[in-house]
Structure 1
Amino acid sequence: MEDYRLIADALAADIAAGRLRPGDRLPPQRAFARSRGIAASTAARVYGELVRRGLATGEVGRGTFVRAAAPPTHPPLAEPAGARVELELNFSVLPEQPALLAPGLERLLRVDPLGQALAPATVTGPPGAREAAVQVLARAGWTPEPERVLFAGNGRQAIAAAVAALVPVGARLGVEALTYPVVKGIAARLGVTLVPLPMDGDGLVPEALREARVRAVYLQPTLHNPLGVTMPPARRAALAAVLDELEVYAIEDAVYAFLRDEPPPLAAFAPARTLVVDSLSKRLSPGLTLGFVVTPAGAAGERVAAALRSGGWAAGGFALAAATAWMADGTVAALVRAKRRDAAERQLIAGKILDGYALRADPRAYHCWWELPEPWRAETFVAAAARHGIAVTPAAAFAVGPAHSPNAVRLALAAPPVDALSTALEVLAAVARGDYAGVE
């Protein structure tokens, strides 16, 4: 017999998606039972569950009606969801981090260094900042020139400044069909139209740019979020050729690239057409971050610097001073090594527990993409997971348009302790099987 809560989850997803609207009358329970092939008693439990969740109200003599849903308490992927196990936001803080970071902060608390850190900051940073950043950003034989590095408060601000500098209001920005959700909000606030571009197993399809008529393209070619795909060198070279031919800029988001040694960034293939955006949020933590924009030579870099200043997106002096010390003394490099080990361990756990399911992931990534089995729908699965205290992200959060939303969820593996992650994944596997015994 189908669990009544699964049916309630499906109706809750219909309400959340607007397919059932406030004030809509639900069918009489007996009619609903006949349409679903369930017992009348099961239908009564479904309606009772909707009432318990505050999604419906029963009126004697009139029936059961959809209630106006309460507004969400936080924007998607913007604030912690308050779930017992967080598999939505993807930030890792390792147990050894406080001991590694504390000496850098202690140095700043002396009078002279603190006075310098409290002075107004510039987008080019204090002396030594660019050189320290180059050590952190360099990979696979590519090393940015220090004079091309600009600083933002965080990675999101770096992206916003790059988009603002390259794409005028009303113009078009190409993105992968599944893209970082924050980019959708940035584009909306800047008056930029997003154009979804097709992907295959190697990442964004370069030829799609020819018909897209975009001013720039934003992409994550290394450990793509959410799919985990890494674009191979041949695809990067092909994309670089199209960028040069069309005179289109690329905004390369390298926020997860620190987890891999290769390949070189797109900027190594198209140095005159690529802006690299990155941050310390994944390497350190969201509360101790700094954003970077590596610009090409010429007017694009000047426009990004102007956007950082006018948008209020420049880094603060104290954050710059602290980050510079951690980058220069090897603290960031030590944490990168530790997080690479941590991410690999978590991927092994996910692969073992979810073995047999359609899971896509790079063994070095902090996230994986789960194409759900039938009869699950992504929104319904998210609701069922939340009922067990687990926050996961549906594919719709990454889709630029409804037509590009597959039946999948992203699992962010970084945040929970390892034992809590294992337990949560066991619960999700049981939910996917429809086996609720033992997971209440």
Structure 2
Amino acid sequence: MNDYRHIADRLADDITSGRLKPGQRLPLQRLFARRHRIAGSTAERVYGELVRRGLVVGEVGRGTFVRAAPAGPTGRALTEAATPAPVNLELNYPSAPGQAEILAPTLAPLLRPDVLTEALRPAAATGTPEAREAAAALLAGPAWRPAPDRFLFAGNARQAIAAALASLVRPGGRVGVEALTYPVVKEVAERLGIRLVPLVSDDEGPRPDSVAAAHRTAPLSALYLQPTLHNPTSLTMSEERKRQLAVVVTGLDIPVVEDRIWSFLADPDPVTPLAVHAPGLTHVVDGLSKRVAPGLTVGFLVVPPHRVAAVAAAVRSGGWSAGRFALEAAVRWAGDGTVARLVAAKRADAARRQRILAAELHGFRVRSDPRAYYAWWELPALWRADTFTAAAAAHGIAVTPGPDFVVDRSRTPDAVRLGLASVAEPDLRRALRTLADVARGGRDGR
């Protein structure tokens, strides 16, 4: 078998010689492996080596694209230090200034041997009484105060979504979703054997009549919705639309999984969850990865009282329980005001980044909310999502192509999502300025 580095060298030669052009998409790893008669793991290492050398950017399964080749005869000796760092606007994990310093004091007591011994024990899906009380207080707002005994915990919000859907929908079942939905939900649905059904939406969100029509075609087992700061469009449903949807789902007895992971940014007035209007059917998902930090996460599930046992069983069977250490840390961070301080800092940070976005992409069709950490850019007429993504990659900038969010593959928008949270502000400004120049003057690849 060829050593993966030899194969990477050959591709590097193709890139530096110009046989592979900047912006050109490489085959998906599985296709590359098949063509070269190598193992999938070897193909993964080849692509990883090219990323390390700074010759390609992107994500496997979504697209790996050739970058403009740095100087050098073969590209074999390139290192990360020799090429500019890529700017990744696909990742979207907010980090407040001084975040580590804010978090560290609370963790210190957990490292005492007597406390650590207890914190390293397995945690049940129901967590601990202290965790339930802390989570209930954290999510409470003027119109919604969830009872602590309705809380369950997963390792992160993605796992919480998977557990909710697994408990509600059998393989082959149908779940109504926004026409643009969270890509992870598409992956979860595929693993669980669930069919996603796109709902017709307007400027208020999914239309109630679309829910009823989809249910008439074949019964829906559940809905998955993001009513607050929808990812990727940043849309927030009006209270009237939520009431209308609640009437429909109640009349048809359709459970709802309400994803509120970004709702903490909805300042100054917390947005009322859909759960207020349909409390007996709505399963609320939230968590700490965006509020606090992605590396030590906890996912929250607030479920109707009669659903606690079933969803807890799904958490256990999926191996999705939260770690006890993370639960203990979450209790302390919520109780001593750490979470509140981080939320305030991230709201201010998101607002600053939205101002940068507005300045650099002025004149383009960009849908966003001044409070959000992301934006939906409807590209100029000459651009397709795939060709623009490739052109961005050629400049060392990764963006998420719009089709990644689409449920109905026959309707692929010429748009990209921009994640604003994970790069330094100067890099964000520079990247957006570059993307604006590309959009104005680039070719479309049609």
**TM-score clears 0.5:** yes
The alignment's TM-score, normalised by the length of structure 2, stands at: 0.81
Q: Letter of the aligned partner of 2:416 in structure 1?
A: V
Query: 1:304 and 2:311 equivalent?
Result: yes
Please give the alpha-carbon distance, in whole angstroms, between the structure 1 residues aligned to 2:390 and 2:419: 17
Change (3 A) 1:434 1:419: same
Q: CA deviation at 1:113?
A: 1.4
- Asked whether the 8 Å contact 2:23–2:391 carries over to 1, the reply is no
Change (3 A) 1:233 1:75: farther
Identical residues among aligned pairs (%): 54
Q: Letter of the aligned partner of 1:408 in structure 2?
A: A
Report the secondary structure of 1:404's partner residue.
Answer: coil
Query: 1:397 and 2:404 equivalent?
Result: yes
Please give the alpha-carbon distance, in whole angstroms, between the structure 2 residues aligned to 1:351 and 1:68: 45
Deviation digits for residues 55-100 of structure 1 (CA, Å, limit 9, x no counterpart) = 79xxxxxxxxxx969777655689xx99711110110122310111
Q: Letter of the aligned partner of 1:377 in structure 2?
A: R
| Map of 2:296 onto structure 1 | 288
Matches within 5 A, 1:192-207: 192-207=194-209
Match of 1:336 among 325, 332, 343: 343
Q: Letter of the aligned partner of 2:281 in structure 1?
A: R
Please give the alpha-carbon distance, in whole angstroms, between the structure 2 residues aligned to 1:87 and 1:347: 14
Match of 2:283 among 266, 271, 275: 275
- Asked whether the 8 Å contact 2:257–2:285 carries over to 1, the reply is yes
Match of 2:101 among 99, 102, 108: 99
Match of 1:122 among 124, 129, 142: 124
Runs of 5+ consecutive residues of structure 1 not aligned to the other structure: 1-46, 57-66
Please give the alpha-carbon distance, in whole angstroms, between the structure 2 residues aligned to 1:55 and 1:232: 41
Matches within 5 A, 1:208-227: 208-212=210-214, 213-227=219-233
Match of 1:346 among 349, 353, 364: 353
Please give the alpha-carbon distance, in whole angstroms, between the structure 2 residues aligned to 1:156 and 1:77: 19
- Asked whether the 8 Å contact 1:178–1:399 carries over to 2, the reply is yes
Matches within 5 A, 1:18-57: 48=18, 50=20
**Number of residue pairs the alignment of both structures matches:** 378
- Asked whether the 8 Å contact 1:353–1:429 carries over to 2, the reply is yes
| Map of 1:13 onto structure 2 | none
Please give the alpha-carbon distance, in whole angstroms, between the structure 2 residues aligned to 1:265 and 1:89: 26
Deviation digits for residues 8-67 of structure 1 (CA, Å, limit 9, x no counterpart) = xxxxxxxxxxxxxxxxxxxxxxxxxxxxxxxxxxxxxxx9554677879xxxxxxxxxx9
Query: 1:426 and 2:404 equivalent?
Result: no
Change (3 A) 1:232 1:167: same
| Map of 2:370 onto structure 1 | 363
Deviation digits for residues 90-132 of structure 1 (CA, Å, limit 9, x no counterpart) = 1012231011100111010112211110122111112311111
Please give the alpha-carbon distance, in whole angstroms, between the structure 2 residues aligned to 1:55 and 1:162: 36
Please give the alpha-carbon distance, in whole angstroms, between the structure 2 residues aligned to 1:383 and 1:255: 30
Runs of 5+ consecutive residues of structure 2 not aligned to the other structure: 1-16, 27-33, 37-42, 49-58, 68-79
Report the secondary structure of 1:174's partner residue.
Answer: strand
C-alpha RMSD of the superposition: 2.4
Q: Letter of the aligned partner of 2:332 in structure 1?
A: A
Query: 1:249 and 2:251 equivalent?
Result: no
- Asked whether the 8 Å contact 2:228–2:237 carries over to 1, the reply is yes
Query: 1:232 and 2:227 equivalent?
Result: no
- Asked whether the 8 Å contact 2:150–2:303 carries over to 1, the reply is yes
Please give the alpha-carbon distance, in whole angstroms, between the structure 2 residues aligned to 1:256 and 1:76: 26
The alignment's TM-score, normalised by the length of structure 1, stands at: 0.82
Report the secondary structure of 1:336's partner residue.
Answer: helix
Match of 2:186 among 184, 201, 208: 184
Please give the alpha-carbon distance, in whole angstroms, between the structure 1 residues aligned to 2:234 and 2:24: 37
| Map of 2:71 onto structure 1 | none
Q: Letter of the aligned partner of 2:346 in structure 1?
A: K
Change (3 A) 1:106 1:374: same
